[in-house]
Amino acid sequence: MKRIYYESWIAEVLLFFSYCETITVGPWVFTKLKETEVPQYVRNHECTHARQWTEMTLLTGLLLLVAVLAWGVSAWWFLVIPLLYYLWYGVEYVVRLCILRDGNKAYRAVSFEQEAYANEKYANYNENSAYFSWVKYLTE
């Protein structure tokens, strides 16, 4: 399981204006709550996002490494790799927002969220799921 930081000042700062109490940033999960207050399904949900971020980062890093070695693409692009998950998330959200015309529905329709919500009740989902399982939600 990914590292979860309880009673985190990072969560307090990032979620200052939000009703949410837990957030995933890269491979880490930050929460305002104490360890005993975080339900297991929230841990599962957020750790699914951490796994998704890791998968996207490793894949894009590998693809960029090939591009650097094969075509001489600048290695400076490696600095962008950790942000590509969020870029994908944002683009998918905007596309779905244009289609659905409802912010909450668009958020729930993002493939990363669909996978996390659909499997948050399964305790061992992250250990037993296939890599890039979120891809099957792109067409839904």
Segment 87-106 mean pLDDT:
97
Task: Tell me if 29 sits within 8 A of 50, measured CB to CB.
Answer: yes
Mean pLDDT value across the chain = 95
Strands (E) located in the chain: 4-5, 22-25, 28-31
Write down the pLDDT at residue 140: 82
**pTM for this model (two decimals):** 0.93
pLDDT at 1 over 60: no
